Structure 1
Amino acid sequence: MQTNRKETSLFIAWCASVIAMLGSLYFSEIMQYEPCELCWYQRMLMYPLTVILGIAVVKKDYAISFYSMVLSAIGMSISLYHYSIQKVSFLTEMAPACGRIPCTGAYINWFGFITIPFLALTGFIIIFISSFIVYRTLKKEEENR
């Protein structure tokens, strides 16, 4: 039962990373939205997750969950900051310039709150929670031995 839970959670984390990666490539390559500096940092954290979680799914390497939690937590922090400087007015006004493309700009604004950093944040949260479930289950199994 626990192995199935670990497998499923690891697979969900990998799926979330693949969807996030494909989404970011869609926005930059198909829609021609040039990523800002903070978007690049989020990509630097998401793209490796696609590879390492994919390998972990194939090899059933559940120990990778610790590393994916760390990378996704850092990604969540950057995404939350990025989303905040887009949506919180006093942060938007005080945001430093971050390159050629302003980090405060929003290419999309679906339903008045869904922006690209929000989508990245959602992906990182899904990966973090799924990885945490794998990590916690793994630790419980180790304690029971």
Structure 2
Amino acid sequence: MDSGINKGLYFAWVVAMVATLGSLYFSEIAHFMPCELCWFQRICMYPLSVILGIACFRNDRKIAVYVLPLTLIGSLFSIVHILEQKLGVFTRVCTEGVPCSGEYIHWFGFMTIPMLALIAFLLISVAMIMNLLQKKDEND
């Protein structure tokens, strides 16, 4: 293992922690009930906080192999959720409970919770891809 601090890894961990704590704030403090798609996004994001935290502690540059599938799947759920909110494309996804089309926040006139999740997934993905490319350059 490399002894240098991997800033991209720490960045990804901070993004995952902010996203996780933000979603917990929205549901537990602001009392926004998550819909079914929100739960799937959380299923992908919450483990990233733990996995990336352990990877930071161990300075594990190989973690991207485990992180990228979660960020890809989470991004896809976020995109489906955004399409449902903005265009009503997937109306049969949330058939019971809280509707997936609901928008609890509307920051800057367009930013919703699934958009925040997508941004977090993309930021973590970019950091992990850069980590993989940096590792490849070091091996050359």
The alignment's TM-score, normalised by the length of structure 1, stands at: 0.89
Q: Which residue number corresponds to residue 49 of structure 1? A: 48
Structure 2: distance between partners of 1:137 and 1:48:
24
Runs of 4+ in 1 over 6 A off after TM superposition: none
Residue-by-residue CA offset, 1:3-60 (whole Å, 9 max, x unaligned): 75x7000000000000000000000000001100000000001000000000000100
Q: Which residue number corresponds to residue 104 of structure 2? A: 107
**Could you tell me which of 115, 124, 129 is aligned with 1:127?**
124
Structure 1: distance between partners of 2:112 and 2:3:
36
One-letter amino acid of the counterpart of residue 92, structure 2: P
Structure 1: distance between partners of 2:87 and 2:136:
39
Residue-by-residue CA offset, 1:38-95 (whole Å, 9 max, x unaligned): 0000000100000000000010011001211111111111101101110125x1xx51
**Structure 1: runs of 5+ lacking an equivalent:** none
The alignment's TM-score, normalised by the length of structure 2, stands at: 0.92
Q: Which residue number corresponds to residue 21 of structure 1? A: 20
CA shift for structure 1 position 139: 2.1
Structure 1: distance between partners of 2:93 and 2:50:
32
Q: Which residue number corresponds to residue 38 of structure 2? A: 39
Structure 1: distance between partners of 2:3 and 2:129:
14
**Structure 2: runs of 5+ lacking an equivalent:** none
| CA separation of 1:29 and 1:59: change in aligned 2, threshold 3 A | same
**Which stretch shows the higher mean deviation, 107-116 or 53-62?**
107-116
| CA separation of 1:131 and 1:97: change in aligned 2, threshold 3 A | closer
Structure 2: distance between partners of 1:3 and 1:114:
39
Q: Which residue number corresponds to residue 71 of structure 2? A: 72
| CA separation of 1:66 and 1:32: change in aligned 2, threshold 3 A | same
Supply the RMSD in Å over aligned alpha carbons.
1.6
CA contact (8 A) 2:3 2:59 kept: no
- Give the fraction of aligned pairs with identical amino acids, expressed as a percent: 44
SS at match of 1:63: helix
Structure 2: distance between partners of 1:9 and 1:3:
14
Matched residue count: 138
| CA separation of 1:97 and 1:68: change in aligned 2, threshold 3 A | closer
Q: Which residue number corresponds to residue 59 of structure 2? A: 60
